[in-house]
Amino acid sequence: MSALPLEAEVSAETPDVVARFSGMVYSIALTHTKSRGDADDVFQEVFLTYHRKQPECVDDEHRKAWLIKTTLNCARRAVADSWRTRVVPIRPADMDMLADTAFTFATAEQDAIFAAVSKLSEVYRSVLHLFYFEDLPIAKIATLLGLEQGAVKVRLSRGRALLREQLGGYFDD
């Protein structure tokens, strides 16, 4: 009985990783790019990179950290792409045609939170998303972002204050 080629064994893991971490990767991408199309591109790039590189991960936490870091890097590149500086924005009159393609969440509160988070700078969006949506501890966030724990705490505090201000105090932490 012959063994499968190494490449077939390694790549068989990718669909499972995509299934387990797709929601996390997409939500980070969407939070940072503020666009469905860009989030789709980042999502594809992250998992294609994972598939090609097949990083050696000791456990799921290590794999999750790798995916988060890669997603943040891809999202930053997407937002900083020089193509964006050469694009002519759509006129407000043209927005009526696109209204039906805009995405919304399940509730008006979720729409308000997403809009408020989207207005924050990337510095605050990253730590807030990782802390509240990915349930990562401050120490892990600091490691992922290459920051001191104190800096993460300050960014969380300031980000919460900015959200509170934007949302008019309607939502509590």
- Domain CATH code at residue 79: 1.10.1740
Contact status, residue 127 vs residue 156, Cβ threshold 8 Å: yes
How far apart, in whole angstroms, are the C-alpha atoms of residue 74 and residue 37? 13
Residue found under tokens 């729409």:
111
Residue 61 lies in a domain: yes
pLDDT at 80: 83
Distance CA 146, CA 125 (A): 15
Structure tokens at 62: 């290590």
Which structural domain, as residue segments, surrounds residue 44? 8-83
Do 119 and 57 fall into the same domain? no
pTM across the whole model: 0.71
**Same domain, yes or no, for 12 and 79?**
yes
Quick check: 60 and 70 in contact, CB under 8 A?
A: no
Q: What is the pLDDT of residue 173?
A: 47
Instruction: Please tell me the predicted confidence (pLDDT) of residue 48.
Output: 93
Residue 88 lies in a domain: no
User: Residue 52: which residues within 8 A CB-CB, separation 6 or more?
Assistant: none
How much is the pLDDT for 32? 87
**Residue 135, in any domain of the structure:** yes
- Which of 143, 164, 35 is closest to 173 using CA atoms? 164
pLDDT at residue 129, as a whole number: 87
Per-residue pLDDT of the chain (173 residues; tens, 9 = 90+): 444 444 444 456 888 999 999 999 999 998 888 888 889 999 999 999 999 998 988 898 999 999 999 999 999 898 887 776 676 666 655 544 444 455 677 788 877 888 888 888 888 988 998 998 888 999 999 998 899 999 999 999 999 999 888 888 565 54
Kindly calculate the radius of gyration of the chain based on its CA atoms and give it in whole angstroms: 18
2 within a domain of the structure (yes/no): no
